[in-house]
Amino acid sequence: MYVIIWLSAMLIRTINLDLIAIIAQTLLTTELLTNWIKLEILKRECECIFNEFRQFFLMNRQTIDEHMQGLILNLVFRYESIVANMGIHLSSKVFHKINPYVTEEWEEIKRGLNIE
């Protein structure tokens, strides 16, 4: 969207190029700042959800009752909601690049919590 507006402004000869540069820099900075804030919120929320899951599995209960199922579903839905609300998408290229490392990290976490 920004590209179309920028190109349209460039084609109009009467618009001052300094004004276009100022607007472009402002939009770019605002976009970067907004995305950085979204990533920080996502990181903080994911850390909280991870810690709550970790506490849940450290309880090491043999059976899971309805209350526990509700807690698990609540955590899963909180995670999915925060990812959707932040509008951050992981590209396939990045996923395939980090997947082996993240899988190994997950296996270590599972071993530490005695999860099969």
The domain total for the chain is: 1
- Cβ distance 50 to 78 under 8 Å? no
Where on the phi/psi map is residue 5: left (φ > 0), alpha (ψ -120 to 50), or beta?
alpha
How would residue 1 be classed by pLDDT, with cut points 50, 70 and 90? low
**Domain interval for residue 20:** 2-113
- 95 has a pLDDT exceeding 80: yes
Tell me the average pLDDT across 58-72.
Answer: 81
Average pLDDT of the residues of the chain: 84
How would residue 47 be classed by pLDDT, with cut points 50, 70 and 90? very high
What's the Cα-to-Cα distance from 109 to each of 8, 15, 72, rounded to whole Å?
52, 58, 17
Tell me the average pLDDT across 107-111.
Answer: 89
CA 79 – CA 77 distance, rounded (Å): 5
Where on the phi/psi map is residue 19: left (φ > 0), alpha (ψ -120 to 50), or beta?
alpha
17-58 and 66-86 helices cross at what angle (nearest 10)? 170
How would residue 96 be classed by pLDDT, with cut points 50, 70 and 90? very high
Which pLDDT score, from 0 to 100, does residue 34 have? 85
pTM of the model: 0.65
